[in-house]
Amino acid sequence: MNVYVGVRAASVGGVAIQTVQGYTVDHDLEAIAASLSVPFWGNGYDEIVVETGPELGERELADVPNAYSVVMTSFPDGTAIGAPVNVGVARH
């Protein structure tokens, strides 16, 4: 079963939402991309992998691990944090 949890608020019910590394939806996604040396297109739909777990098996893509990750995604009206996302396999 695939499960994905996405958060677009800095807190829910008074509880602050952040990743293990301390990223929040308030962070500047372009600055995060620069610090991780990954592309940032600025078109409103960037997806930046900020944390990655252990590899689950063989890689389908040579430069991307087959592992669950935490991603930050930009949208025209804000940023979201989502997990788990396996960016190393085909998604649709």
Answering whether pTM is above 0.75, one says yes
Residues lower than pLDDT 70 in the chain: 1-2, 90-92
DSSP state string for 12-77 = ETTEE---TT---TTS-HHHHHHHTT-----SS--EEEEEEEEE-SS-SBTTB-SEEEEEEEEETT
